[in-house]
């Protein structure tokens, strides 16, 4: 039995069907609201709006739960690989052994870039932000791969999906190499997805590069943590771009642009910069006070979340991974101690407790990425590399959703009513 929501507006009553999912909040289907009432809903930031139906990822923000096709992020981070999670998000089920091997081979075979794209990098300044390069180069892919831009052809959609997932590590590694003035390295098909990325990033033609299995596993786990996350800002950007029929490369470039913002994927870079600015544990209270000050735009980067009103389960895994990598590398970093103390003090402060502000995925990620050797400027590029899997899976789901049409929100207009034009000489 479908429940209904009743709305009384302008003297008339209307019923709207309430739809239930597998788990999580019900939704009120208001698709007929404007036609029946002449009114729009108002929800800037979409805090109470479901934009689609999806089977990919579910977040319970109060419980700090994150599921990908029903599998808990902690289980996947502990037991799976990024390639297996990519397969899971692109298909309905975890792959059998042969399916996974076939998928990995397919992705591996798409990791090379068209040779002329390498020249694209030469147009950038050496100090160009890697995200500026990612936006440009990924958008340019549509100029090279015309044979996989027909979004109505499932085969072309899958080839474009595989190309995007496969080429992001190559594009990101090349952005790093260009920034440090080192030559690009071609992909090495004998390596894993993540091992290949590490070699293209930190290897040099002058000598062999040995992938450190501890780093490879830690980075692969970090990619898993960033793979997908419901209808976050950049995923919604990809879906909106895709709803117009734009080609997949353009849609992912749009997602990269949105992810760059410090309130979203740019927070991992901003969080580590903040931890360095704090510098020592004794300066933490000063920054907590600033974060609480309404007149100060400063926010604790890596803290808070639109959906999680509990601990981000990804942050839990991230913190554990920092400890594991530090132990394996026999390193430490005073910034990690600052982060741990900042978390402790913030989570015991009524401001953060009342507003349910907890560390999110970005709070610890910079500490470990820095320990692995990535410059801060590469952090969001790594987030984009991993989130491409989610963007591509969500894009495919949107294209095949019969309910989906071009996204076109309305507004509450509060500008001037119609008025007569006055020639400039009479103003
Ligand atoms: C990601 O959506 C996703 O799923 C994103 C993501 C993904 O995987 O795709 O999880 C990745 O983007 C993680 C979030 C990374 N961003 C940051 O760490 C930047 C710092 N955090 C904030 O800017 C903020 O918490 C947001 C943007 C993440 C969430 O903002 P909301 O949901 O719009 O909440 P809000 O801004 O309305 O804040 C609610 C209150 C406000 O106070 P009041 O106006 O109610 O008095 O909490 C305060 C805010 O001022 N607040 C903070 C804070 N975050 C929120 N105060 C201090 N420090 C913070 N970090």
Question: Would you state the torsion angle of the CA atoms of residues 332, 81, 86, 68, taken in this order, to the nearest 10 degrees?
Answer: -80
Report the percent of the chain where pLDDT is more than 90.
96
With a 6 Å cutoff on the Cβ, whether 267 touches ligand 1 is yes
Q: How far is CA 75 from CA 34, 57, 326, 355, in A?
A: 44, 14, 22, 29
Exposure of 358 by Cβ count < 10 A (0-12 exposed, 13-18 middle, 19+ buried)?
A: buried
- Beta-carbon-side half-sphere exposure of residue 173 (alpha carbons within 13 Å): 26
Q: What predicted TM-score, i.e. pTM, was given to this entire model?
A: 0.95
Residue 68: both structure tokens together: 């990908």
- Closest Cα to residue 123, out of 112, 132, 114, 113? 132
pLDDT reported for residue 393: 98
239, 400 in Cβ contact below 8 A?
no
pLDDT reported for residue 149: 87
pLDDT reported for residue 331: 87
Residue with tokens 């979203």: 264
Cβ contacts of 178 within 8 Å, gap of 6 or more: 121, 124, 126, 128, 133, 184
Alpha-carbon span 82 to 225, nearest angstrom: 9
- E strand or H helix that includes residue 15: strand 12-19
Ligand 1 mean position to 259 CA, how many Å? 14
Write out pLDDT tens, residues 308-344. Answer: 999 999 999 999 999 999 998 898 899 999 999 999 9
Alpha-carbon span 14 to 59, nearest angstrom: 31
Exposure of 233 by Cβ count < 10 A (0-12 exposed, 13-18 middle, 19+ buried)?
A: middle
229 is catalytic: no
Mean pLDDT of the chain: 96
Give the pLDDT mean for 79-105: 98
Write out pLDDT tens, residues 213-225. Answer: 999 999 999 999 9
Active-site entry in 153, 362, 401, 403: 362
Asked if the model's pLDDT at residue 1 lies above 80, the reply is no
Give the pLDDT mean for 236-249: 97
Q: How confident is the model at residue 146 (pLDDT cuts 50, 70, 90)?
A: confident
**SS3 label, residue 232:** coil
Helices assigned H by DSSP within 192-263: 193-202, 213-225, 233-243, 248-259
Give the pLDDT mean for 81-94: 97
Helices assigned H by DSSP within 45-126: 73-79, 82-90, 97-108, 117-121
DSSP calls for 118-141: HHHHTTS-TT--HHHHHHHHHHHG
Ligand 1 mean position to 304 CA, how many Å? 4
Alpha-carbon span 50 to 328, nearest angstrom: 43
Edge-first strand listing for the sheet containing 12-19? 4-9, 12-19, 27-28
With a 6 Å cutoff on the Cβ, whether 362 touches ligand 1 is yes
With a 6 Å cutoff on the Cβ, whether 356 touches ligand 1 is no
Q: How confident is the model at residue 147 (pLDDT cuts 50, 70, 90)?
A: confident
Alpha-carbon span 190 to 206, nearest angstrom: 19
Report the nearest-CA residue for atom 11 of ligand 1.
264
Q: How confident is the model at residue 2 (pLDDT cuts 50, 70, 90)?
A: low
Report the percent of the chain where pLDDT is more than 70.
100
The backbone region for 426, taken as left when phi is positive above 0, alpha when psi lies in -120 to 50, beta otherwise, is alpha
Q: How many CB atoms lie within 10 A of CB 58?
A: 17
- Closest Cα to residue 368, out of 424, 419, 315, 408? 315
DSSP calls for 337-387: HHHHHHHHHHTTSHHHHHTT--B-HHHHHHHHHHHHT--GGGHHHHHHHHH
With a 6 Å cutoff on the Cβ, whether 291 touches ligand 1 is yes
Asked if the model's pLDDT at residue 120 lies above 70, the reply is yes
Q: How many CB atoms lie within 10 A of CB 203?
A: 20
- E strand or H helix that includes residue 171: helix 154-180
Write out pLDDT tens, residues 289-308. Answer: 999 999 999 999 999 999 99
188, 197 in Cβ contact below 8 A?
no
- Closest Cα to residue 300, out of 256, 334, 345? 345
Report the nearest-CA residue for atom 8 of ligand 1.
229
Alpha-carbon span 239 to 322, nearest angstrom: 33
- Closest Cα to residue 79, out of 317, 315, 386, 325? 317
Give the pLDDT mean for 396-409: 96
- Beta-carbon-side half-sphere exposure of residue 292 (alpha carbons within 13 Å): 16
Active-site entry in 68, 129, 229, 305: 305
With a 6 Å cutoff on the Cβ, whether 228 touches ligand 1 is no
362 is catalytic: yes
275, 367 in Cβ contact below 8 A?
yes
Report the nearest-CA residue for atom 34 of ligand 1.
306
Write out pLDDT tens, residues 360-376. Answer: 999 999 999 999 999 99
- Closest Cα to residue 88, out of 230, 226, 228, 236? 228
pLDDT reported for residue 196: 98
pLDDT reported for residue 54: 98
**SS3 label, residue 291:** helix
Alpha-carbon span 339 to 301, nearest angstrom: 11
Alpha-carbon span 336 to 191, nearest angstrom: 31
């Amino acid at each position: 039995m479908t429940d209904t929501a009743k709305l009384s507006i302008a003297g008339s009553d209307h019923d709207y069907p309430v739809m239930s999912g597998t788990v999580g909040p019900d939704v009120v289907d208001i698709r007929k609201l404007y036609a029946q009432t002449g009114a729009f809903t108002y929800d800037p930031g979409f805090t109470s709006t479901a934009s689609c139906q999806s089977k990919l990822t579910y977040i319970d923000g109060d419980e700090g739960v994150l599921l990908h096709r029903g599998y808990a992020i902690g289980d996947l981070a502990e037991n799976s690989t990024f390639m297996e999670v990519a397969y899971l998000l692109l298909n309905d089920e975890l792959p059998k052994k042969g399916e996974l091997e076939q998928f990995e081979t397919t992705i591996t075979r798409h990791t090379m870039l068209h040779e002329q794209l390498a020249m694209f990098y030469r147009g950038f300044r050496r100090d160009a932000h890697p995200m500026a390069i990612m936006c440009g180069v990924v958008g340019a892919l549509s100029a090279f791969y015309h044979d996989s831009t027909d979004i109505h052809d499932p085969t072309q959609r899958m080839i474009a999906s595989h190309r995007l997932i496969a080429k992001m590590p190559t594009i990101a590694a090349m952005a790093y190499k260009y920034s440090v003035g080192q030559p690009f390295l071609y992909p090495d098909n004998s390596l894993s997805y993540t091992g290949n990325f590490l070699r293209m990033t930190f290897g040099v033609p002058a000598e062999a590069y040995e992938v450190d299995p501890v780093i490879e596993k830690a980075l692969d786990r970090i990619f898993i943590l960033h793979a997908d996350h419901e209808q976050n800002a950049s995923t919604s950007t990809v879906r909106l771009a895709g709803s117009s029929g734009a080609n997949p490369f353009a849609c992912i470039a749009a997602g990269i642009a949105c992810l760059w913002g410090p309130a979203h994927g740019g927070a991992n870079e901003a969080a580590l910069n903040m931890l360095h600015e704090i510098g020592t544990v004794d300066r933490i209270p000063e920054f907590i006070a600033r974060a609480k000050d309404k007149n100060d735009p400063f926010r604790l980067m890596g803290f808070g979340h639109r959906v999680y009103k509990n601990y981000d389960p990804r942050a839990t895994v991230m913190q554990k991974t920092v400890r594991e990598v530090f132990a394996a590398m026999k390193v430490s970093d005073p910034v990690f101690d600052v982060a741990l103390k900042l978390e402790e003090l913030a989570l015991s402060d009524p401001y953060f407790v009342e507003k349910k502000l907890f560390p999110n995925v970005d709070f610890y990620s910079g500490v470990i990425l820095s320990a692995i050797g990535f410059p801060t400027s590469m952090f969001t590029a790594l987030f984009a590399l991993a989130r491409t899997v989610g963007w591509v899976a969500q894009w495919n789901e949107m294209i095949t959703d019969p309910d989906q049409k071009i996204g076109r929100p309305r507004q509450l207009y509060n500008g001037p009513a119609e008025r007569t034009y006055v020639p400039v000489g009479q103003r």
